[in-house]
Amino acid sequence: MSGSVLPNPDCIPGSTYYSPLSNDDLPDIKNDRSLSVLYFFPKQLTPHSSVILPGVKRPARVLSANDLEVTRYGGRGRGRGWDRGGNGGRGNGFDRNRNDPFQSRPNNYGQSYGNDR
């Protein structure tokens, strides 16, 4: 790793660190003993280029085509259930086309069980 560091003039050991959250009535830190520096990346003469070097021997693939498909289109991960051929305990079944668990969908908040109104 290379580059340059300079002391952060806003954070001097032994000084008071003024809270950036003054609207929340959080106190300032008196006799702050932390260290802070400003890091500067080194100047590059040429742009960085990520490449696979000549002569690299790639390892054999570990994931199968089925593994990749399950990863792309949902599947069993994250403990959210999966399609077991029936409803899978999820109401109307697992929708493989919806990979976002936070998509907008109707909810039944405010309704009680057994109430069909």
Place of tokens 């493989």: 96
Three-point CA angle 82, 102, 69, nearest 5°: 40
Place of tokens 């003993």: 33
- Indicate the pTM of the whole model: 0.34
The CA distance from 74 to 94, in Å, is: 9
Could you report the per-residue pLDDT of 92-114, keeping only the tens digit for each?
444 544 444 444 445 444 444 45
Could you report the per-residue pLDDT of 16-47, keeping only the tens digit for each?
888 888 788 888 889 988 888 999 998 888 88
* DSSP single-letter state for residue 17: B
